[in-house]
Structure 1
Amino acid sequence: MSARAVLTTTRSVRRRLDLDRPVDLAVVRDCLEVALQAPSGSNAQRWHWLVLTDPDQRAAVGQVYRRACLEYLDSPGAAGRLHEQDPERSAVQQRVHSSVAHLAEVMGRVPVLVIPCLRVPGGGLPEGNQAGLWGSLLPAAWSYMLAARARGLATAWTTLHLAHEREVAEILGLPADVHQGALIPTAHHTGTGFKPAPRQPLDEVLHLNKWA
């Protein structure tokens, strides 16, 4: 696959995750090797990666995720409540809402769950701008997802479980100075391949030199 093809067809896959086909851990490791080539602030490389394959661990995290997801789906900011005044975009949002609800029910059964984490000196997160902090982890997590796509795997990006981050940390035995950045279900996918998603025209969001 070309770089453009990988970048434009790496979708958040929720309904089409194959829950029954095992994922070769060697392939996941290969994707993480790619992820470790991403940039990090001061080249500190404070990232850590939890890869969950144990059924009990996956089920336990899945239960927390389901609870967090149901809270989200009932909130004003849920996907299905966005763009209600635009029939075309609302229809897309309703499909996203439905797929999020589906993932909530099956998260604990996805063959591999990957949780990218940061180890923060002193343990506490800094006040104010944290862009540099999370910018030292999230590009690597995205690289993992791109590498998985290139190898025929499907993933989804979600952070909903972070509403109960400490509970998940206790399940996983995380030290107090380790903070989770995302939850990435990883599986083979059902059906055919993926295509680019509808997006706003570039000129509606592009600003040259200044906002106006």
Structure 2
Amino acid sequence: MPRRQNLTKRQAHVLDFIRNYVAENNLAPTLGEIGDGLGVNRVTVFEHVRALEQKGWIRTERHLSRSIELIDDNTAARGVPIYGRIAAGQPIDVVPEAERDTFDPADLFQDDKDLYMLEVHGESMIEDHIRDGDHVIVESRQTAQPGETVVALVRGQEATLKRYYPMGKETRLEPRNSTMEPIVLPTQDVTVQGVVVGVLRQY
């Protein structure tokens, strides 16, 4: 089975419709029925169904009108993967590949963004109201504007959460804690892995 990938809000709506239709009718809907139910045309439905199949949520058979088969319907349709913890003090081990959990911020952020979540470990960003134990929502990208809060990979081995200030041959990774000093490194030793777009805190 293909590795599950996260869905956009629109793709999740299509998947929810398919699940509900199967539960009520004990058979899969046609593309036309999905379109009628969601108020969209068949071309749009086809693109979403193809995306669901490519992302590992359904199977289809060509040339059959009711060929949609749900895969492992016990798994939630939406979610941002929690990859692990991120240092907000001294850098720690690089963000692990394995996912630990999922969270659904679909109503808080724009569709089609490549997002993931990290648990903050440390106090270096407290003056930006990012505290130890918080979760940051990160947009995965390799570029950032000066002053943005980024997930920075240091020397290809350690990840840290800091304000990002490129300075030509050097890059300054600046904490937002007046008791801590910035980290200044050769630019080639710093790789941007994502930019923080939100913070979540449980009280």
Taking structure 1 as the reference length, the TM-score comes to 0.22
Write 1 or 2 for the structure with the bigger share of helix.
1
Q: Which structure is larger by alpha-carbon Rg, 1 or 2? A: 2
Write 1 or 2 for the structure with the bigger share of strand.
2
Between the two structures, name the one with larger relative contact order (CA 8 Å, sep ≥ 6): 1
Taking structure 2 as the reference length, the TM-score comes to 0.23
